[in-house]
């Protein structure tokens, strides 16, 4: 039951579907299963109100954690 999520679409298709500009889109590889603790693409609203595609690590919410269960993956 952990891998209920997948992202099999090509990155360009996701950018077009959500109307995300090239400079606001992180690179990712399509995958058949997204498990907790692994990276996944996420579309979110940036601070300036525009949509962006970022790569985050999927996690499970813990009782003492904040309300969100995703963390931004920063390769730098």
User: In 3-state terms, what secondary structure has residue 19?
Assistant: coil
- Indicate whether 76 pLDDT > 60: no
pLDDT score for 59: 76
**Chain centroid to CA 22:** 15
pLDDT tens-digit profile of 51-68?
999 999 877 666 555 555
How does strand 70-72 pair with strand 51-58? antiparallel
pLDDT score for 67: 56
pLDDT tens-digit profile of 13-46?
999 999 998 889 999 999 998 888 888 999 999 9
């Amino acid at each position: 039951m952990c891998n209920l999520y997948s992202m099999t679409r090509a990155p360009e298709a996701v950018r077009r579907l959500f109307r995300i500009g090239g400079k606001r889109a992180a690179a990712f590889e399509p995958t058949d299963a997204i498990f907790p603790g692994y990276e996944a693409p996420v579309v979110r609203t940036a601070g300036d109100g525009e949509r962006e595609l970022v790569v985050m690590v999927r996690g499970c919410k813990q009782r003492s954690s904040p309300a969100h269960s995703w963390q931004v993956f920063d390769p730098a």
